[in-house]
Structure 1
Amino acid sequence: MIKDLPENIVKDIAVAVALEGETVESKTWYVYIINLKNQPIENVLITSKGYGEKDGEQVKTSVLRHSIPLIEANAFKLIEPIDEQTFGLANEYWVSYYIGREIFDKKFIFMPESIVDANFIKLPLVNKPGVMIL
């Protein structure tokens, strides 16, 4: 039964939106997964999608799927570029991974308008400004 399944709690894994570069015309943004653990994670599967309301209408982006075979301890990997126009939507990243034979999963959601300068930190390991969810 479900009550018999172990409660594998995700710790020390983050998803971050980082400002990569800036010109007069535009900004370049990337989404990263950051492994803050002292051990690697394997078979990382990530789905991403955006949803919400824009100009009074419901909007959904395509669901994208990403696979990363291994993320070393205290390392990060690029998930995808992200368009600034989606910052007004909820941007969801569902992350699943293995440590040994145990599976872990967690949903990370950047709420609408949460990717703003006021929420910027210096992202650990990535060393760029951005917004991170642990």
Structure 2
Amino acid sequence: MNKDIQIPKVEDVYIAVVYEYNDSYKTNDWNAYIINDKEVDLEMVLIVTSGYSEEKVTSTFRKKLDVLPKKSYAKIELMQEDLFALNNTFKVSFFEGNKMFDKTYIFRKNTINLKALQSIPLMEVRGVLVK
């Protein structure tokens, strides 16, 4: 029976933590984004985030997007720098057509930092990316 279950592989959907200037507060902030680099819209996108280590566990944050259009991105949450000492998980589920996709993205502890910044697809900014 288990061999009959097909779990489709998630491709061209990423999570990025971007270091960017906040005009309202005149500060540099870290923000998490979901990126849809596909040629199709994603529907009913559910994102569940949390941080953990051997000693600590953060509260769980949930976000729902009805549609994430093709070749676009959406802000998930503001991230405080204290969280970077933890492993941060982003569990993402969505529908593409009639199929449900699911993937867990993990930013390992201390991997989100200024030295790790790289070019982020579609956004034309620098940040830390997990594929």
Is the TM-score greater than 0.5? yes
TM-score, normalization by structure 2: 0.92
Match of 1:32 in 2: 33
How far does residue 125 in structure 1 lie from its aligned partner after superposition? Answer: 1.5
CA distance in 2, matches of 1:116, 1:83: 12
Greater than 3 Å deviation, 4+ residue runs: none
| SS of corresponding position for 2:56 | strand
Structure 2: any 5+ residue segments left out of the alignment?
A: none
Match of 1:10 in 2: 10
CA distance in 1, matches of 2:119, 2:42: 23
TM-score, normalization by structure 1: 0.90
CA distance in 1, matches of 2:75, 2:125: 13
Deviations 1:92-132 (A, max 9, x none): 00000001110000000000010122221121112221000
Match of 2:118 in 1: 121
CA distance in 1, matches of 2:79, 2:115: 19
Match of 2:109 in 1: 112
Q: Percent identity?
A: 34
Deviations 1:25-65 (A, max 9, x none): 96311100000111111100010000015xxxx01100111
Match of 2:60 in 1: 63
Residue 83 of structure 2 corresponds to residue 86 of structure 1: yes
Structure 1: any 5+ residue segments left out of the alignment?
A: none
